[in-house]
Every structure is written in C-alpha cells, then in structure tokens.
Amino acid sequence: MSSLSRIRLPRARRAFAALLVATTLAMLLAPVTALATESATFSITGRGWGHGIGLSQYGAKGYASRGFGYAWILNHYYQGTTIGTGTAPTVMVHLDDMAAARQTWRVGAGNDVTTVTVYDYDASATRIDLSGRYNYWITASGTDVRVHADRYTNGAWVPGAILKVFHGSVVVRAGASRSASLVQILGPSGPFHEWNVIWRGTIRFLPTTDTSGRPATKAVNYVGLDQYLYGVVPRESPSSWPTEALKAQAVAARSYAYGSAAAGSTLYCTTQSQVYNGFSGASVDRHEKPRTNSAVDATRGQLVKYGSTVVRTFFSSASGGHTANVEDVWVTSASQPYYRGVDDYDIDSPDHASWGSAIVYTPATLAGRIRSYDFGNNGRYDYSAPSPATIVSVSTERAASGYVPYMTIRWSTGVAFRIRGTTFQSALRLKSSKFWVRATTPAPTYVRYEQSNARIAYGGAWRTASATSLSGGTCTWSAVAGSRAVITFHGTGFRWVGNRSPRYGRARIFLDGAPAALVDLYSTRPQFRQALWSRSGLSDATHTVEIVVTGTKSAASAGYAVALDAVDITGGSLLQASAPPTLRRFEESDSRARYTGAWTTATNPAMSGGGYTYTQAPTASVTFAFTGTRARIVAPRNRNYGVALVSLDGGAAVLVDLYAARLELLRTVWDSGELGNRAHTLRISPARTRNPASGGYIITLDAIDANGR
C-alpha cells in the first residue's frame, strides 16, 4: 500500500513521565455517580482526542480558517509565550517504533550517489567507502558492528561476506555530504513499519542485545532539526490544511523537539514523541509534502519561548471545545501559564461534539476490562476485585475544562478505588479523558457467542487476531474473496459484531439463503466491537446467516478484510452449522489447467508440488474446469506481484491482490464459497494493475483446491 494513503489525522501526544509529583486539583465540580444494577449497563460518551494540553491541531486549523496567523494561534494555546529564535541542534530519533534492537538491518543509498560510507562514530577516519549502486547489511557481534555485502539466496536477500568490522557503533551516510545524505532502510522502519523508507541525514547503528539476549543493533537517525520537521509536520497536520495552521504546527513541533535534542536525548518516531516518517517510502513516494516543507522553511529557527526558556509544546488532535489545564490530565504541580486551558475552535474535528455512539458496558464486562488492565509497576498497583465481582458504580470528578482528573469505581464486594481519569481512559482505550459515564437502561436480551465457538463453520482462508479491544480478546478475519462464516441458530434476533477499519472491505450477508445486505466495513479510524448488521423480529425457528467476503472495497479503503468478532442471538441459541466440504489439491501442472499466452514455469521446493507458474503478459490466462461444490486458488504473494482477475463460470471478475511486503507461500488468495454441485470453470488472468506499494505486475498460480473432480 502506498504510504501516501497512510497519512493520518493528528494523533494524541502521550503523557510526559517527568512531571510525576503530587498536586492539589482546583476547579472540580461535585462528583457525578453512575449507579448500575446487574441488569443495567454503563454508557460512556466523550469529546476530543488526545490529552488536550497545549495546542489543539484541529483548533489551529479552525482559527487559521478564520484568518488568524500562526503567531496568534501559538500565543493563544501557550498563554504568556512569545515567538523567539534559537540555534537548531541535531535531532536523534529511534527508527524502530518501539526503539527496539534488531539482529540485521539492510541499508543502501536513498538517492543517486556514487558511494555509501560507513564510519566509526568515535573515530570517523575509520571508514569504508562502498558503491552506491548496491545495498548492505549491518549486524552485531558483542560490541562489534559488522558490514556485510548483499547476497541473494533461497529466494531472499541475506547478509553476505563481511566487508569490515568496527569496534563500537557505526554511522551510515550516502554521498559525500552529511547534510545531503539520504539513507534507505530496506526492511520495515519508522512509525508504521513501512518497508524501503528513505531517511535524511545519517543513521547510527549502536551494538546492544535484543529481547532474547542475542547481539543486535539499534538504528538512530541523526538529522538536522528542520529536516526532521519535514518528516513530522505532514504526519501531524495534513498538508491540505491552511498555511497558518501548518506554520503553527511547525513551530510547535520544533519547540517540542528542541529540548530533547539540545539535551542529547533520543526521540521516538511515534506519538511517544511526535510522528516522524522520513523523506519518502521510495524514490517517487514522498512522505514530505511541499506545503508542509514550506511551512517549516517559513518559520525557520522560530521557537515558542516563555521568557528565555523554550517551552515543551505539548499538542494533541482536538479538545472538544476547551483545552485542559495540565493538572486536569497529568499528576503535576506545574503552574506555568502556557499549560492552562483555553477556548478551542476545533469545530472541524469529528470528535469536537462527541465520539459518536455511546460505548456500552455491562457491569461484568466493564469489570473485565478493568481487571485485565496492567496498572503498572510490575503489578504493584491493582484497582480491581477478583472475579466474579462486578462494578456497581462509577463516580467522576470533573474539572472546569471538562476533563476528568479523578474518578472512583466501586465494586460489588464493597471495595472502592479512586483512580486517575487517564488511567480509566487507558484501560478502556478511550480517545481522551473528557468523558461521561452514565448508567443506562437494561441491555437487550442478546446472548453473545464468540467467533471461536465450534458451532460456527468457516469456509475459505480465515486468520485469528488478538487484542484487548476485541470481544473475548480475539476475532477471525479474511481478505480472500469467497471466504464465508456460516452461523446457524434458533431464535428471533441476530447481530453480527465486528470491526471497521481503514483497511476493511465489503461483506455480503445471506439470511436463510437469500441476499440480505451488502455491508461496507471501511472507516477512517479503527472501530472495535461494532454492531455491523442485525435483524430482529424473526420467526421463532431455525435460521442461517452467512457472512461472505466479497473481495471488493470502497475507493477510500486500503484493503479487503472482513472480521467476525462475535454473534449475538435473541430468544434462542447457537446451533451446529454444517461443516465445509473436503477439498482435493490439483497442482498448477494438472491437465485441467489450460494456459494461454506467455506463462513461465518455475521450480521451488517450498511451493506446493515443488513448482508454480507466473506471468505478466496482458493476454495471458489460465482456466481450470472441475465438477464440484467449491474451489480455491493457492498462490504465493510477494512485493513485486500485481493484481489478478478471477472469474467463475463467465461471471463478473473480482480483483485479487497478490502483493505482500515479504514473500508469503501457500496462501489461499481466493475462495469460491459454496457452489452448486455441477461443472464449473475458473479463469485467472492479469488485471495489469497493482498495489501502489508493489514493484511489478506478476501474477502466479501454485495450485487449486477443489471439492469434486
């Protein structure tokens, strides 16, 4: 997927850990208590996104749209400050999203230069100059760092011969000038673990060990402050926003990074500091944007200052109308005027008025979320009661800004805990600590069955994902067209519980064999435990619901996935669905496969049957005739593969994307689902299109699994 499609709306800044001292809260309103019986539910609503301290990014957009300049915007959000100047230090940034160490890094020149230079960080005269035409590997052995040649073997690039061993950390630079250097990491790096990201400046590799104690190195980008901002500003504020808002973001991001850079601290490339995604994803896939680069250049050297001190300019997406005093959110005694709440013109934020539909928990499910949350300090802190205790009341203390500094949760055992609002926010993964908790009317009489229940039948290629935000902690998903989940139940109502995401596609719903709905699962942000489709008022009888992956999506979506998290049934229970048919494997060389056009046969012992075929010829195709009730296509996926057209019995073709960031073997890439027991013909051909992240148009065939003959 093109990284250009991954530009995200501003994300929340995490709390800073340095201000962990006692405080006295002011301007608290009287606590509001939500009391629930066992048959009731807690309803949670809220506003804003992020901690709400300092600049609101949507607020800056709103004020800029009304004609206010960036200096006014910054002074508004950071009261009592001025715009000053300072000498730009070199910024250091971890290039793994968790600052993790890796056993190998593959690097190369990110621009058209003649040399890649690797030199000793402590003694730059100790160096090796390599050809800029090739890529290289960095590995570690104890405190030594080794530079390897690039070698292709067994279908993959791996470290080859050792070219030089350095005693201590090394720096990689592309070209003769450090300031113009562009270095590419050919594996995953950056906040989104994208492949082939090009970074400005130089990259230092420091020997250490990974989580398993094996020799490894950490990658740290050394880059000029403004060059760093080129990669930050478009990830924090969309480049289409008003110029003055982008300038305000540039100065705030510069000021935020200044203190860490000046102190020699290493920043994260994620929201733990601020999102930094480098120069580009490939030579033509620019992460930097002309409008945001211009905003950085137009404010060069400018910093937010309080007197002579550069302010740590915290910022977040939106506050829901009013930003927070720092003590409304974090435990601190800080009282600087620039950390006081102000009116926020964030009306364009989708979270300005509310987060949308209320988040509803039963006393038991809310208790489960609190009980499963790690409150920190190696388990020393625990604000829960043992199962089967439930939560019977939630009392919130609200600051004048609307944020919840403290709240009290009371358990059915009688024990009560007063906790931070941000702790509750983190446990429930809420967007901000500006939330309201209310006891609601009793929940519908649905009975929930998790997607892992053995009575649900799956056909096609499904995978399991785990996350605490999911019902029961797991969900089942597929992006393979024709894959289906079959739910048989006796009852009067049904609800499909699943997820929405920027990478999700469409599903077709069949009720008792008849088409019932086409459900689009795309959303701009991930949404979990959503009621995706429901039907009530059914006859008190046995019913069957089929959820079928269509292999189609909306234009805005980046993928085709469909997820089943759980099913809810009213007035009855889940029944055993019929099992999917047994399939027989036919290799790509089987006589039933009829090829036309230019196809190439390749051998590979890792493939089914030891071989596969591939083509990218526009007129090529292969047909497979069989008699039976189901078929699926098995094929490898890789980063230079394109999109295939797949049709059945002359029907409308679906697009099957064969791109993957790394080689994947024996993948079910398409599934017909249940068919009539008769003769069928499957046709596969190149679509002559590709995923924006792919490097080619190749389509492949490894085998076909079919039920029948």
CA atoms within 13 A on the CB side of 265: 10
> CA nearest 422: which of 327, 280, 520?
327
pLDDT at 444: 53
Provide the sign of the torsion angle of the four alpha carbons 90, 197, 140, 112, taken in this order: negative
Amino acid in position 463: R
Rounded distance, CA 243 to CA 255, Å? 18
β pairing state of 105-109 and 135-141: antiparallel
Confidence of residue 542 (pLDDT cuts 50, 70, 90): confident
pLDDT digits (tens, 9 = 90+) for 279-313: 999 766 789 999 999 999 999 999 999 999 999 99
Least confident of 2-11, 159-168, 399-408, 617-626: 2-11
Packing angle, helices 363-372 and 421-428, rounded to 10? 100
Tokens of 10: 């501003």
Judge contact between 42 and 219, C-beta under 8 A: no
Tell me the C-alpha distance between 681 and 631, whole Å: 10
* Neighbour order of strands in the sheet with 611-615: 600-603, 611-615, 699-701
Average pLDDT (677-686) is: 92
330-379 pLDDT per residue, tens: 988 777 999 999 999 999 999 999 999 999 999 999 999 999 998 877 66
* C-alpha closest to that of 412 among 445, 388, 383: 388
The DSSP 8-state label assigned to residue 31 in this structure reads P
C-alpha dihedral (615, 616, 620, 624), degrees to nearest 10: 50
In this structure, are residues 295 and 246 in contact, taking their beta carbons and an 8 Å threshold?
yes
| Model confidence pLDDT, tens digit, residues 170-181 | 999 999 888 889
Burial (0-12, 13-18, 19+ Cβ within 10 Å), 532: buried
> Tokens for 382?
């625990």
Residue 26, pLDDT > 70, answer: no
Predicted confidence (pLDDT) at residue 210 exceeds the cutoff of 50 = yes
289 Cα distance to chain centroid: 21
- What type of residue is 386? P
A 10 A CB-CB count for 418 gives 11
Mean of pLDDT over the chain? 89
Q: Which two tokens stand for residue 659?
A: 């791109």
pTM, to two decimals: 0.60
Out of 313-317, 453-457, 662-666, 688-692, the most confident range is: 313-317
Give pLDDT tens digits for 95-116: 999 999 999 999 999 988 999 9
pLDDT of residue 30: 56
CA–CA gap between residue 122 and residue 125 (Å, rounded): 9
* Model confidence at 580: pLDDT above 80: no
Residues whose CB falls within 8 Å of the CB of residue 259, separated by 6 or more in sequence, listed in order: 310, 312
- Domains assigned to the chain: 31-47+354-440 (no CATH), 90-224 (no CATH), 446-575 (2.60.120.260), 584-708 (2.60.120.260)
CA dist., res. 119 & res. 418, Å (int):
54
Asked if residue 351 lies in contact with residue 80, where contact means CB atoms within 8 angstroms, the answer is no
Residue 14 in this model has a pLDDT that exceeds 60: no
User: How confident is the model at residue 452, as a pLDDT?
Assistant: 93
Average pLDDT over residues 126-139: 96
Q: Nearest 5 degrees, angle CA 695-CA 698-CA 701? A: 140
pLDDT tens-digit readout, 468-503: 999 999 999 999 888 889 999 998 889 999 999 999
Q: How many angstroms separate the CA atoms of 259 and 311, rounded?
A: 8
- Residue 11: per-residue pLDDT: 35
pLDDT-based confidence at residue 666 (cuts at 50, 70, 90): confident
Phi, psi of 289, deg, nearest 5: -125, 140
For 369, the enclosing helix (H) or strand (E) is helix 363-372
How does residue 4 score in pLDDT terms, banded at 50, 70 and 90?
very low
Pair 458, 580: CB distance under 8 Å: yes
515 band by pLDDT with thresholds 50, 70 and 90: confident
- State how far Cα 696 lies from the chain centre: 25
Q: Do 516 and 510 contact (CB within 8 A), yes or no?
A: yes
Closest by Cα among 677, 672, 588 to 627: 677
For the sheet with 416-420, list strands across it: 32-35, 391-397, 406-411, 416-420
Query: Rounded distance, CA 68 to CA 72, Å?
Result: 6
**Are the C-beta atoms of 568 and 601 separated by less than 8 Å?**
no
Query: Which of 55-59, 154-158, 301-305, 536-540 is predicted least confidently?
Result: 536-540
> Are residues 421 and 430 in contact, defined by beta-carbon separation less than 8 angstroms?
no
Quote the pLDDT of residue 669.
Answer: 86
Tell me: pLDDT of 249 over 80: yes
Q: How far is CA 1 from the centre of its chain?
A: 13
Chain mean position to CA 525: 9
pLDDT at 24 over 60: no
3-state DSSP assignment of residue 292: helix
Average the pLDDT over each of 82-91, 372-381, 612-621 and give the range with the smallest value.
Answer: 372-381
Average of pLDDT values for 606-632? 90
Torsions phi, psi for 535 (to 5 deg): -145, 125
CA–CA distances in Å: residue 193 to residues 96, 196, 523, 657, 658:
8, 10, 21, 20, 20
Residue with tokens 């990259």: 203
Q: In what order do the strands lie in the sheet with 302-306?
A: 82-85, 302-306, 309-310
Cα separation, 633 vs 629, in Å, equals 14
d(CA 588, CA 93): 48
